[in-house]
Chains A and B, each alone.
Chain A
Amino acid sequence: QSVLTQPPSASGTPGQRVSISCSGSSSNVGSRTVNWYQQLPGTAPKLLIYSDNQRPLGVPDRFSGSKSGTSASLAISGLQSEDEADYYCAAWDDSLIGLVFGGGTKLTVL
């Protein structure tokens, strides 16, 4: 059971907008910034969003992050087949004194 809660799966058709949620608590998402990672099949994770809504250089602006209270979201607009991957949220937890991840969301592009 992960500290951060994500839906196990999400799907969309090319061109659609999809959103993935990440629910936490006051000791993590509610008080710390959220980061998002993309893991393509068979590869290492890649930082997608940091500090709730910032994109590292090279990440397309189709990817965006937001946060409200103890919940965060990753949105992908203009869905493409190459976006098919696992997506993870993560945040520092002040109670556990460690980093916590969501269980991951497998995104399928139909």
Chain B
Amino acid sequence: EVQLVESGGGLAQPGGSLRLSCAASGFTFSSYWMTWVRQAPGKGLEWVANINQVATAQYYVDSVKGRFTISRDNAKKSVHLQMNSLRVEDTAVYYCARVGYNGWESQDWGQGTLVTVSS
């Protein structure tokens, strides 16, 4: 059974930093792209970042470029999102997901971790 478990969310001040982690199990982690998607309170889904199997390619939504960094550790079967220079508008539930092979579909999702940016 595929499992994705996010951690690291919490309260941060504007300008602060947080590091999210996602622990994967139940599949060959090193064979899949991974992605982070966020959802602000009461709002829709917004893609944040993707990373390929060997961490040689990363893509980001414009609003987080230069502030967020996606990374992965295939030995530990985990993907991370380092979030710096946080803004109030980064407040959201952050989901990690496994990307399928067909057309960037997010096949499996974690339960999400809440990030709140507030002074």
Across the interface, do B105 and A98 meet the contact criterion of CB distance under 8 Å? no
Q: Which of B95-115 contact A (CB under 8 A)?
A: 95, 100, 102-112
Across the interface, do B105 and A47 meet the contact criterion of CB distance under 8 Å? yes
A39 to B42, CA, bound (A): 12
User: What residue of chain A has the Cβ atom nearest to residue B46's Cβ?
Assistant: A101
Across the interface, do A104 and B105 meet the contact criterion of CB distance under 8 Å? no
Contact partner of A101 (CB less than 8 A), chosen from B47, B50, B95, B111, is B47
Give the interface residue-count category, chain A: 20 to 34
A35 to B112, CA, bound (A): 20
| Closest beta carbon of chain B to A81's beta carbon, Å | 23
Across the interface, do A92 and B103 meet the contact criterion of CB distance under 8 Å? yes
Is A13 positioned at the interface, with any CB of B under 8 Å from its CB?
no
| Closest beta carbon of chain B to A2's beta carbon, Å | 7
Across the interface, do B59 and A45 meet the contact criterion of CB distance under 8 Å? no
Interface mask (B22-54 → A, CB under 8 Å = 1, otherwise 0): 000000000000010100000011110010000
Contacts of A91 in B (CB 8 A): 103-104
Across the interface, do B105 and A88 meet the contact criterion of CB distance under 8 Å? no
Contacts of B59 in A (CB 8 A): 97-98
A32 to B111, CA, bound (A): 27
Across the interface, do B112 and A44 meet the contact criterion of CB distance under 8 Å? yes
Interface size on B, residues (CB 8 A): 24
Interface mask (A56-71 → B, CB under 8 Å = 1, otherwise 0): 1000000000000000
User: What residue of chain B has the Cβ atom nearest to residue A34's Cβ?
Assistant: B103
Across the interface, do A50 and B45 meet the contact criterion of CB distance under 8 Å? no
Is A24 positioned at the interface, with any CB of B under 8 Å from its CB?
no
A33 to B100, CA, bound (A): 12
A96 to B60, CA, bound (A): 10
Q: Given A47-B106, A50-B102, A99-B50, check contact A88 B60 (CB 8 Å).
A: no
A44 to B38, CA, bound (A): 11
Looking at B45, B61, B62, the one whose CB has the most chain A CB atoms below 10 A away is: B45
Q: Given A88-B45, A99-B47, A100-B47, check contact A51 B95 (CB 8 Å).
A: no
User: Residues on A close to B: CB < 8 A?
Assistant: 2, 32-35, 37, 39, 44-47, 50-51, 54, 56, 86, 88, 90-92, 96-104
